[in-house]
Structure 1
Amino acid sequence: MKNVLIINGHQKYPVVAEGKLTQFYIDTATEFFHKAGYAIKHSEVEGDYDVKEEVEKFAWADIILFQFPTYWMGVPWLAKKYIDEIFSTGQGTVTYENDGRTRSDATKRYGSGGLMQGKSYMLSITYNCPTSEFNDKEGFFSGLSLDEANVATHKTFQFCGAEPLETFSVHDIFKGDLDLEKEKVRFIAHLEKHFS
């Protein structure tokens, strides 16, 4: 049996971002992993959490599913705070040993000191922007792909040695015509592709 940690990276802002869409994806993922026989633990960046317990969850997990909305082109600040606290506290035991370099071996590169080898992670992101803004030199992201636009989050996991799985994203969430049943089918197909 594999262990999956599902992180709720949402930060609530009344009226604008209540967290219902993030919770929809977390509930869908939880149901999927439960049916597939995975052991599941949850974490939430908003509210009280015990840093030591969270580090232990990362030690336990084989897979980390990080579900979050994009706020101002990145993770919500409470999600960044969570990452900073958990990944830093896990130094030397769970997340990373050091930055990988050593005076005795010049071939050791920066970013090679992670302790999360054998673990994988998936980003699942909700966006207001349309998909057309990525991979287009005339678009808002100046030709960057979805993953390139989220490089800081990817590099954080890479620094700790975890392997990326294909990112999932949903777009145009404020247009008013988001078909949640259609998006649920698409999300489940994405999970099946990587976890079946």
Structure 2
Amino acid sequence: MKNVLIINGHQYYPNIAEGKLTQLFIDMAEAFLKENGFSVKHAKAQSDYDPLEEVEKFKWADYFIIQYPVYWMGVPWMMKKYIDEVFSAGANNGIYAGDGRSRSDASKRYGSGGLMQDKKYMLSLTYNCPASEFSDKEGFFDGLSLDEAHVATHKTWQFCGAKPLQTYAVHDIFKGDLNIEAEKAKFVAVLTKNFLG
């Protein structure tokens, strides 16, 4: 049986970001994974977690789904705090062992010290930004793809050795015409590719 840790990176703001959409995708992912024989645990950035207990979840997991709303072009600050604290607690303890460089072996490069080499992660994002702003030189992100716009998050996981799965993102969530049923179908298609493909 494969193990999946679903990380809720949501940060609560009343009337603006209450976490309902984030929770919808977490619940869908959990149901999909359990139906397909995966074991699931949860982590929540905005909670009274113990970093060392969280590290044990990371050591247990084969896969990670990181579900969060994009705030100001990146992870919510409580999610950043969670990663800072938990990954630091995982130094030489399942997450990473130094930055990978070695005084005795110049071929070892920065960023190669991750201890999660056999693990994979999936970003699942909720966005107000329309999808059309990505991969368009005239768009807000100057031609960057969705994943390129999230290079800092990807590099954090790469530093720890984990490999990326396909990213899912729902866009234009405040526009008023969000077709949630179509988005649910897209989400299940990405889950199917990432975990059953």
Q: Distance in 2 between matches of 1:193 and 1:104?
A: 41
* Residue correspondences, number: 196
Match of 1:78 in 2: 78
Q: Distance in 1 between matches of 2:164 and 2:102?
A: 26
Q: Distance in 1 between matches of 2:47 and 2:168?
A: 25
Match of 2:58 in 1: 58
Runs of 4+ residues over 3 Å off in structure 1: none
* 1:174 lines up with 2:174 in the alignment: yes
Q: Distance in 1 between matches of 2:47 and 2:63?
A: 23
Where does the alignment leave 5 or more consecutive residues of structure 2 unmatched? none
Match of 2:92 in 1: 92
* 1:145 lines up with 2:145 in the alignment: yes
Q: Which amino acid aligns with 1:45?
A: A
Q: Which amino acid aligns with 2:146?
A: L
Where does the alignment leave 5 or more consecutive residues of structure 1 unmatched? none
Please list the CA deviations of residues 47-80 of structure 1 after superposition, one character each: whole Å capped at 9, or x if unmatched: 2111111000000000000000000000000000
Q: Secondary structure at the match of 2:43?
A: strand
Following superposition, the deviation at residue 93 of structure 1 comes to 1.3
Match of 2:186 in 1: 186
Match of 1:46 in 2: 46
Following superposition, the deviation at residue 185 of structure 1 comes to 1.0
* 1:11 lines up with 2:11 in the alignment: yes
Q: Secondary structure at the match of 1:68?
A: strand
- Provide the aligned C-alpha RMSD in A: 0.6
Give the structure-2-normalised TM-score: 0.98
Please list the CA deviations of residues 69-118 of structure 1 after superposition, one character each: whole Å capped at 9, or x if unmatched: 00000000000000000001100011100101111111100000100010
User: Percent identity among equivalent residues?
Assistant: 67
Following superposition, the deviation at residue 5 of structure 1 comes to 0.1
Q: Distance in 1 between matches of 2:93 and 2:49?
A: 19
Q: Distance in 2 between matches of 1:113 and 1:120?
A: 16
Please list the CA deviations of residues 108-142 of structure 1 after superposition, one character each: whole Å capped at 9, or x if unmatched: 00000100010000000011010110011110001
* 1:162 lines up with 2:146 in the alignment: no
Q: Distance in 1 between matches of 2:142 and 2:156?
A: 23
Q: Secondary structure at the match of 1:129?
A: coil
Q: Distance in 2 between matches of 1:50 and 1:97?
A: 20
Following superposition, the deviation at residue 182 of structure 1 comes to 1.3
